[in-house]
Amino acid sequence: MEHQSTLNMNMPLRMLQYLLLFYETHCKLGSALYRERRIMLPKPEFYILYNGKKKPPDKQIRLSDAFIGLEEGETPPLELVTNIIDVNYGESPEIMEKTRI
């Protein structure tokens, strides 16, 4: 999760960096990557809390939108979806109800 006041269309790539760092450090991958046994990982979820003045273009930004050479309708070999939550006053009442401040 990251909080932003300006939109950054590179967030899926940054989130991928964060995810790999998290898996490397907190899941203690090390030499386990080379073993036959599958490493079980916590399911990732990616969110941007956005409070900028411009309206976000979508509710999600996809890593595959940056891929060069991806054909129309082709399934990307890697995907990462970052969810945008607009936390400006009046934009996300379900979030605001859970947060007193």
> pLDDT for 11-51, tens place per residue?
999 999 999 999 888 877 778 888 898 888 999 999 999 99
Per DSSP, helices labelled H in the chain are 11-26, 93-98
Nearest to 87 by CA among 95, 78, 77: 95
- Residue 96, pLDDT > 90, answer no
Q: What is the pLDDT of residue 100?
A: 67
pLDDT digits (tens, 9 = 90+) for 59-73: 999 999 999 999 999
Q: Are 69 and 94 in contact (CB under 8 A)?
A: no
Percent of the chain's residues with pLDDT above 70: 98
Q: Give residue 98's identity as a one-letter amino acid code.
A: K
Structurally, how many domains does the chain consist of?
1
76 close to 70: Cβ distance less than 8 angstroms: yes
For residue 79, the surrounding DSSP H or E stretch is none
Q: Which domain holds residue 33?
A: 2-98
